Structure formats: structure tokens, C-alpha cells
A and B are shown apart, each in its own frame.
Chain A
Amino acid sequence: MESAVIEEREALEQLVEKPAPVAHRASRTGRRRTFLLVLAVTIFNCLGNLSLAWGMKHAAVQVGLSPTGYLRDMLNPFVALGIGLLILWLLTRMALLSWADLSFVLPVTALGYFLAAVAGRVFLNEPISRSQWLGTLLIFAGTVLVGSTGHRTRHHAHEVHK
């Protein structure tokens, strides 16, 4: 009963909402905006993870699988900041997914691994081996390659509804 109401409302929403405007402009601005958003998404992810890792390393309790351990750790300011940044990451990534393919978003936002390796080297003084540098190089090359493909291959929003 309730789900029927929700479905009905969703059907109405679809009628009211305009089809994705991005579909009509595969122009330079659409592309540039997409890359700016990719950059924001990866930066939020990196800073969030960095802050979280820093906070957890200095947290008093080992978390393991107990939920109370997690709750106590959230009082740490670095952990809290990390969680805030990761929430921003989630929301901006969802916005990105609203106008770009999943098979585009995944490899392109893997740029985060590259940034994380560099950030770990610079801020945490973590050593990077030769094979790890090769790895970051491959990630960078792959990201550039995928980035050169169109970010939206399904152009008509209504087709996705089926």
C-alpha cells in the first residue's frame, strides 16, 4: 500500500522534472564542469581519508567490531572532520553520478589513489617503493585515458527509466 503511494509519487516526479539538461550540451563547459567536479570529489575523498587515518592512529581505543568503539572515536576532532569531509565526498559524488557514467566515474576518481600516495609521502613521510611509483603512474595514465572518453554515453534520460 505504502510502496504503491511512493511509486505513484515517483512517477509524478518524473513527469514534472525536466530531462537532464546535460544531455543537450556535450560542449566544452559541460566537460570542464565535469572535470572540476571530479577534482572536488577526489580532493574531498583524499582529505577525508587522511584526516580519518590521522585521527584513528592517535585514538586511544582499538575499534575492532564493537560499535561503542566507533562512537567514542568520533569524539576525536580529526575523526569528526574526516567524517564530515567524507559526507561531502558522498554527496558530490552522487551529483557527479547524476550526469556522468559509472564506468567513467570509477576510473577517473581513482586519481584519489594517486593523490593519496603523494599526500602520504609529503605529509606523513611514508616511503614509496619503485613498484608503488609505477602503480601511481599507471593509475595516472589510466585516468587520463578514461578521461578522454565522453562522460555520458546514455544521452536520453528517459531511456534509463526502463
Chain B
Amino acid sequence: MIKWLLLAIIVITTVLGDLVQSYEMKRSGAQRVDARGLGRIVRLIFSRGKLSIGILCMAVSFFAFMALVQNAPLSFAVPASAATFVLETVLAKLVLKEVVGMRRAVGALLVLCGVVLLAR
């Protein structure tokens, strides 16, 4: 089924893209949000190989999601893409070594339940 293939592409590219972005952006130090700051981020995207791959992943994920929405109902597409949410939080703890305490974990689970309910 094409929808499972698209879903697999979405999950893999979203998780990879977000992890790489988070890692690389932390490495670059706190960025400013004015025009110059955003311009600097654009330059970072083109000058750092890993960051370019991360953004490419986001683009693939975006187009795969558009294709999924046209091949399957939103009630499948939205909760399925919420799976990335759990995976990313776990990997943020394991790979990025972020501290995911009780409050953060419970909050993330509440959001996940909410997203699944919203799509029904």
C-alpha cells in the first residue's frame, strides 16, 4: 500500500530532520530572530552539510505528507504522523541527552492523546 510507504518516508525524514536540526542549531549557539539573524540561519543551511541534509529531509517529509493527505484520509495522516512525536522525544533523551523529566513526559503524552483525538 502506497500510504504505508509514504508514512514510513514521513516518519524517517521527520525524525532525522528534527534531530539533525536540533543538534546543529545548538552547536551554532543562540541565534537572533531579526532579519540578520534569519539571514544567518539561511547561510548556515547552505554552509553546513549536515544541516543541508536536515532541511532536505524536512522538504521530503513535507511533500510526502501532501501526497499522503491526497491518498488517505486526514484521520489516518495526522495521528500517524504523531508517531514521530514519541520517537523524537525518546531520541532527544537518548541521543541529544536532553533531560525529559516527569512533567515533560506527561505533557508530551497529553499532547499526543490530544492529536489522536483531534484527528478522529
Contacts and interface: CB of A to CB of B under 8 A. Distances in A.
Interface of A: 3, 6, 10, 14, 17-22, 37, 40, 62-65, 70, 86, 88, 90-92, 94-95, 97-99, 101-107, 110, 113, 117, 129, 131-132, 134-149, 153-154, 157, 160-161
A103 B92 contact: yes
A139 B110 contact: yes
A95 B48 CA distance: 15
B83 interface: no
Contact of B104 (A86, A104, A141): A104
Nearest to B85: A106
B4 interface: no
B108 A146 contact: yes
The CB with the most chain A CB atoms within 10 A, among B49, B93, B117, is that of B117
Dominant secondary structure of chain B at its interface with chain A: helix
Nearest to A90: B58
Interface residues of B, number: 55
Given A63-B70, A102-B88, A142-B107, A132 B118 contact: yes
B38 interface: yes
Nearest to A2: B49
B66 A63 contact: yes
Contacts, number: 176
A18 B31 CA distance: 12
Contacts of B55: 90
A153 B85 contact: no
Given A91-B41, A106-B88, A106-B89, A99 B115 contact: no
Interface centre among B21, B22, B67 (most CB of A within 10 A): B22
A41 to B, nearest CB: 10
A94 B31 contact: yes
B33 A95 contact: yes
Contacts of B110: 138-139, 141-142, 145
Nearest to A137: B114
B118 A98 contact: no
Contact of B27 (A65, A145, A160): A160
Contacts of B88: 102-103, 106
Contacts of B104: 103-104, 107, 145-146, 149
Given A102-B22, A113-B118, A153-B98, A146 B29 contact: no
Contacts of B114: 110, 113, 134-142
B26 A160 contact: yes
A21 B111 CA distance: 30
A106 B108 contact: yes
